Homo-oligomer: A and B are copies of this chain.
Amino acid sequence: MTIREVAALAGVSIGTASKALNGQGKLRAETRERVAQAARELGFAPNVLARGLLAGRTYTVGLITTDSFGRFSIPVMLGAEDALGAGQMSVFMCDTRDDPVRERLYLDMLLSRRVDGLIVTGRRIEPRPSIGRSLGVPVVYAMTQSLDTDEPAILPDDQGGGEMAARHLMEGGRTRLGHITGPERFLAARRRAGGFCATAAAAGVRFSPSDVLYGEWSERWGREGARILLASNPRVQAIFCGSDQIGRGVSDTLRQLGYRVPDDIALVGFDNWDPMVAGAEPPLSSIDMCLVDVGRTAAEHLLSAIGGHPTSGSHIVPCRLVVRGSSGSPAADPGPGTA
């Protein structure tokens, strides 16, 4: 199954066979066809290693993730795979499980495999330490960013997502808002809250940053947060939840306490995570970070860098609002979602 066999069968030299298969050199069309036929017959596939050895590149990129292939990393990977697969590149995926030792290990492995580039992904509380500036290969961060802010990073638009949620919830004329979200130490939580507050303020709706209920990314906190919010603000009309899990807890609790969703209180979640939004009753409207796009964009930037045109700094990928039953207008339900 090597090119040697193909050349022998076609009755040409190895070099000629190679040229025939790659469309190089000057060969008679008949010769090309004869070689192609031989290759087909033998099921020949060129050894990518040998080719890479000579070309100095491997047509391979490394993808390092820190969050155990969680539901955030997966779509990013899929997007990256899409963009790279089109360019005939393959992806080595490594899960560091957020362990610096493992990260170092995987990094060495990827470098000794001479990957052409690196994508670093994984949900983080804050920007992460750079994985290294002089590794000899380009690096792009996806859904996370380096403390070295000029290293290229592709990020979801958390702030824009918060703005979208606010605009959508206020659409039906609702003005008494609430926001229950994850821990304040998460940059993403603060950005979402920031966008939400700013949009409310711009619309003349009273909702200050101190009204944001920070807690955990869990259903339990959603339940608890809902009770706290209702205690302090019993006439709330719309709640923006920082994650679908929180949204789920809020939704359950509202129903338990006798509120109707969306008629009494409208809800919007965040992440658009199918098992969560679909299982809620009614199904939960949610902000989708379009992580597949984030991954695809990251891969495109990486390809560009590999091609000699590096980019730098943050690039924001817009979110998308998916409307479901939990946020129909109090007057008239707008019907099925736009996505």
Is residue A53 within 8 Å, beta carbon to beta carbon, of the partner chain? Answer: yes
Contact between A245 and B50, CB atoms less than 8 A apart: no
User: Which DSSP category, helix, strand, loop or mixed, fits chain A's interface?
Assistant: helix
Considering the chains assembled together, what is the distance between the CA atoms of A218 and B280 in angstroms?
11
Taking CB atoms and an 8 Å cut-off, the chain A residues in 181-232 that contact chain B are 218-220, 223
Considering the chains assembled together, what is the distance between the CA atoms of A49 and B54 in angstroms?
10
- The complex is assembled from copies of this chain, and their number is 2
Interfacial chain B residues near A11, Cβ < 8 Å: none
Is residue A260 within 8 Å, beta carbon to beta carbon, of the partner chain? Answer: no
Interfacial chain B residues near A307, Cβ < 8 Å: none
Interface size, A (range): 35 or more
**Cβ-defined partner of A108 (8 Å) among B45, B47, B113:** B45
Per-residue B-contact encoding for A49-69, CB less than 8 Å = 1, 0 else: 110110000100000000011
Contacts A81-B95, A252-B252 given; 14 further ones with Cβ under 8 A?
A1-B136, A48-B112, A48-B113, A49-B114, A68-B78, A90-B94, A218-B278, A219-B275, A219-B278, A219-B279, A245-B279, A249-B279, A275-B275, A275-B276
21 CB contacts below 8 A, A to B, read A1-B136, A45-B108, A46-B112, A47-B53, A47-B112, A47-B114, A48-B112, A49-B52, A49-B58, A49-B114, A69-B77, A69-B78, A78-B95, A90-B94, A90-B113, A91-B92, A218-B278, A218-B279, A219-B278, A219-B279, A245-B279
